[in-house]
Amino acid sequence: MPILGPTLLLSRADRQAREGAWAEAVASYDEYLARFPDDSAAPRALESRDTLAAMLTARAELTRRREEVARLREELDGLQAEGTRMREDRTRLRAEATVLRDEVIRLRDEAIRLRDEAIRLRDERGHLRAEGTQLREELTRRADDLTRTRQELAARQAEAERLRGDLERLKQIDLKLERKR
């Protein structure tokens, strides 16, 4: 690099700063200050270099902060989406819980109805058993009555036969007596 004088080096650094090439301008100011620390423009060059270095640091910090803000926004968007999803899940789960609660109530009512029906059927079975026992007793009593009636009928038929036989003999006797007369 050709040896430049302090004025040319300082002019180059100022031009770079005006054009926005701040990192190059800081390097040029550093070169100027390293080569000409005792020059009359050195304090202004130091102040310009410090200002540009602070701006570069601030710009880097701003870029880092913007990236962090972007990351935090993405994270916030993700958390908001997760919150929305969780609210939707909560709503869906509440609806499912309501449906299940209604189903439990319906099943409990059905179980109570079935228990009551079972009790009613058990009572009815007891009544039917008692009625069946009564009917069997009545049937046994009637069968006994029928047997007695049959025996009585047989006895009366035998008596009727005997009486017919006696009546026939009496008729025969009567006929004989009438013939004799």
33-84 confidence digits (pLDDT tens): 999 999 999 999 999 999 999 999 999 999 999 999 999 999 999 999 999 9
Mark the ranges of the chain whose per-residue pLDDT is less than 50: 1-2
User: What is the reported pLDDT for 58?
Assistant: 95
User: What is the reported pLDDT for 1?
Assistant: 46
Does residue 23 fall inside a structural domain?
yes
Residue 153 tokens, joined: 């009928």
Q: How many domains does the chain have?
A: 1
Residue 78 tokens, joined: 């993700």
Does residue 62 fall inside a structural domain?
yes
Distance CA 96, CA 88 (A): 12
Does residue 140 fall inside a structural domain?
no
Q: Residue 33: name the closest of 46, 48, 17 by CA.
A: 46
Domain carrying residue 55: 6-85
Distance CA 153, CA 155 (A): 5
Residue 179 tokens, joined: 């013939």
Residue 161: how many CB atoms within 10 A of its CB?
10
Does residue 59 fall inside a structural domain?
yes
Does residue 33 fall inside a structural domain?
yes
Distance CA 135, CA 139 (A): 6
Distance CA 46, CA 69 (A): 33
Does residue 116 fall inside a structural domain?
no
Does residue 153 fall inside a structural domain?
no
pTM of full prediction above 0.75: no
Single-letter residue type at 162:
R
User: What is the reported pLDDT for 180?
Assistant: 87
Does residue 47 fall inside a structural domain?
yes
